[in-house]
Every structure is written in C-alpha cells, then in structure tokens.
Amino acid sequence: MPDLTPLFRFACAAPFAAALVAFAAPAAAEDAALPYDLPTTVADPSPIAPPVPAPDDAPVLFLQDSGDIDENILLPAARPHDDDDNRTYARDYFAIAGGVITVPSYNGSDERNILPAFYFRGRLKGYSFSTRGTNFQVDLIRQQRGQKTDIKFGPIINLRSDRTGRIKDAQVEALGDRKMAVELGVSAGVTQTGLITSDYDQLGLRVVALKDISGKHGSWVVSPTIDYGTPLSKRAYIGMSASFNLYGKGFGRYYFDVDPVGSAASGLPVYTGASRKATLGKYTIGLAGAYALSGDLRKGFVLIGGAQYGRMTGRYADSPIVDIAGSKDQFLAGGGVAYQF
C-alpha cells in the first residue's frame, strides 16, 4: 500500500509540527450524521448518542517537522449532529487538539525527536479548513448537509522544515541545515459515505500537489492518498490510510543528493541519483483511533492516537543520508486530546 494518514509545526521558532493524528491522513463525507438508534458495541453499552464519522479531510493528530507525513489517518474528527436543523450547508464547528509525537529527526533518519503537537480545524458556512501536517488548506466547495458523495478542491500552503534543525546524525548535520521551503498548491479529492460496514463508514481518495515558491528546492511534490474510516460505537472510531510521495528532480537534489563539498565535510560519498529524474520516493501506511471521554465523538473531549510506518524507496533509499547515515524504515507515533465545539 502507498501512504496513510499528523499537528502544525510553527515555522522556525518552535518545533510545533502540524497535525494531531489525522492521518491519516489526508476520509469521509463531512456531514453524515448518525441516527440516535445506532447500536453500541458490547464493550460500550452506553445509551449516549453515536458519533458522526470523520470527514475525508480528517485532521492530523501529530506534530511533525517534515512535510512528507500523510496526516489524514491519525485523527478522526467528530462533527456536530445536524438532524434537527433545516440549513442548506453542514453545521459550523471548530476543533482543537494537543499532544506529543515521536518522528524521525529528518526524512530518512534512524534517530528520533519527540515534539509537542497542535492542531486546529473547522467549518464555517459550508467551507472547511484545517491544519494538516505542516500545512494549512481550505476547501472551496461548500459542504451540503447530509450528502453522501463529497467532492473537495482548494488551495494549500505548506512549510517544509525537513533538515532545518535538530538533526541528530553528525554526518548529516555536517552537510548543513536546509532552509525552510514554502510550498503552494492544490488539494482535490472525493469521499463516499456508506460503502462497506454500514451507512456511516467512509472511503476517500485525494491528491495533494505542491510547488516550491520560496526558491529553496525549486521543485514539486505530488501525494495521492486513499483512506478509510468507520465508527465502532458511539464513543470509538478507527481509521486507516495509505499514500505515496512523488518528488521532482530539484527536491531530490536539495534534500538527498550529496555534492563534493558536502562529501568532504561529512565523510559520506558523493551522490547525485536523487536528482536524475522525478520518481517515487516514499510510501506510508497508518492506523489511528479516537475515543470520546464525553461518550459522544461529535462533541467534547476525545482521546486520539495513532502510528504510521513509512518506507523510503528507489533513488531516495539509495541516498547516503538514508542508506548509510539513516534508515529506509520510517516510524512515527503520537497521541493527545482533542476538543470539538
């Protein structure tokens, strides 16, 4: 499988990564309200109202300092119940989350950093917005109340902070820090509600395309993602996701190639393979869940957590910063508490 999906890392100043488990994402229709008679599981006999499944842009639950983590799986976000409302568009809501995450010290590293995490998302007059990974995006297609098929499209801006600091490997650190790249692009996708386990599970497909506008790596990244989520009871939700990242030549040159000067400083061999052509560089899969402390996933406090496995591939896996100084296998995990109102 390709890449699953994490909190927002506040640029430069603090190691806040963007996205408390969403992963993850990157899915579900934004406003599919569950009926009050949804049966609970044996483990949860509570009569409290059932949760609404997470939207296809389910929030990322982890903070991260790499733009390559697919956040859509990590945090399934609950949404307010709409059954008693006659509005045209889905109900307005806001959600915040905080926690901790453990991530590789750079994309391809075998060392880890533990970072604080923060996440924010919401919907206003049918327009959704969210922090996802180290980015912020807005859906320009208004969410209709109760629709089963949800099409999304809108702008996205990303702060790519990979190798901008806190590198634990001495050889990679000797190559020098990279400057934060500002990337602008679009996010598009579709989510269908009620396909497999019930009328409320959700399957989503989306693609994020980003282009560097800051002149740092001067290239592009395209990330297709598929994710699936379903409520297990009134209090519990589980999501899974898979995605992969395609990188342009300039991206490989800036982050994964080693020039003669860098080789002399670090002891790593000269490498130019990552910049030879655009290619698949990484895939990830993830799993995440949520449990409502209030007894209702649609509102109040929710415990969130998840884990993700990624694998560097091809010319990126052969780079000395991965093959010699780091690892092809990439893991992240995190958890926290979210509140929706």
Give residue 296's pLDDT: 84
Burial of 155-165, coded b for 16+ CB within 10 Å and e otherwise, reads ebebbbbbbbe
For residues 93 and 328, is the Cβ–Cβ distance under 8 A? no
The C-alpha atoms of residue 117 and residue 100 are separated, in whole angstroms, by 5
pLDDT of 42 over the 80 cut? no
Q: What pLDDT score was predicted for residue 241?
A: 93
| Structure tokens, 234 | 């009134």
Give 80-139 as a 3 state SS string: CCCCCCCCCECCCEEEEEEEEEEEECCCCCCCEEEEEEEEEEEEECCEEEEEECCEEEEE
3-state percent breakdown (helix, strand, coil) of the chain, nearest 5: 10, 45, 50
Query: Three-class SS of residue 47?
Result: coil
Task: Say which range, 48-62, 87-101, 195-209, has the weakest mean pLDDT.
Answer: 48-62
DSSP 162-179: TTSS----HHHHHT-PPP
Res. 292 pLDDT band, cuts 50 70 90: very high
Q: Strand 17-18 vs strand 112-124: parallel, antiparallel, or unpaired?
A: parallel
Q: So what's the pLDDT on residue 59?
A: 33
Q: What is the mean pLDDT of the chain?
A: 79
With contact defined as beta carbons under 8 Å apart, do 92 and 122 qualify?
A: yes
In angstroms, the Cα distances linking 176 to 166, 169, 173, 323 are 11, 11, 6, 18
pLDDT band, very low/low/confident/very high, at 25 (cuts 50, 70, 90): very low
Residue 32 pLDDT greater than 80, yes or no: no
For the chain, give the percent of residues with pLDDT over 90.
58
* Average pLDDT value for residue range 42-51: 37
| Region of poorest pLDDT, from 113-122, 216-225, 243-252 | 113-122
Determine the longest span between alpha carbons in the chain, in angstroms: 68
Given this model, what pLDDT does residue 253 score? Answer: 98
pLDDT of 201 > 80? The answer is yes
Cβ atoms within 10 Å, residue 246: 16
| pLDDT given for residue 8 in this prediction | 28
What is residue 90's predicted lDDT score, i.e. its pLDDT? 81
- Band (pLDDT 50/70/90 cuts) for residue 79 is very low
Residue 316 phi/psi, 5-degree rounding, is -75, -40
**Can you tell me the distance from the alpha carbon of 19 to that of 310, in angstroms, rounded to the nearest whole number?**
17
**Euclidean distance between CA atoms 8 and 184, whole angstroms:** 16
- The per-residue pLDDT for range 312-329, each reduced to its tens digit, is 999 999 999 999 999 999
